[in-house]
Amino acid sequence: MKTTMIALAALALSAVAFAGQGGGRNDGSRWIQLKDAAMISGVKVRPGSYTLSWTRQHGSEDVNVTLRSGRKVVATANGRWVESAEPSSYEALVYHREGGSNELSEIRFLQSPEKIRIDGGSTRADSGEDTGTATN
């Protein structure tokens, strides 16, 4: 059975510290603190501090999402920039719980109807890719 849960700073799954508003932005990044393990496109991510960044493809609703620990790429995912009927009341990561794992399914932005819906199929883990400087 699939259960949806929103992970906010007050919840045990993860504390998310967002550095600014995401609504209307094509590219961005946020520092996040995972309190428990999570799955990102099938890649198990351990608890810890990470930079979550996204880049919207020019002229498209497609988004590339990257999770980094320092310069190391921990996981990547593809997603879609979508708009909800109502603005989100929270800056949040949304997980679907399936088979005992919390799979990242959405990135929501405070007071914005825009969000990133994560696809489940594309993965890359522990690539060791050194990306130089972090993206802001």
Question: What confidence tens digit (pLDDT) does each residue in 54-108 have?
Answer: 999 888 899 999 999 999 999 999 999 999 999 999 999 999 987 788 999 999 9
How many structural domains are present in the chain? 1
Residue 5 has pLDDT above 90, yes or no: no
Q: Is residue 80 part of a domain?
A: yes
Name beta bridge partners: 77.
Answer: 65
Any idea of the CA torsion for 64, 69, 39, 6, to the nearest 10 degrees?
-80
6-33 mean pLDDT: 53
Reference 110, options 82, 84, 93, 89; nearest CA is 89
In angstroms, the CA 128 to CA 124 distance is 10
Range of the domain at 38: 3-118
Identify whether the C-beta of residue 2 lies closer than 8 Å to the C-beta of residue 97.
Answer: yes
- pLDDT the model gives residue 115: 95
Q: Which of 105, 132, 109 is nearest to 26 (CA)?
A: 109
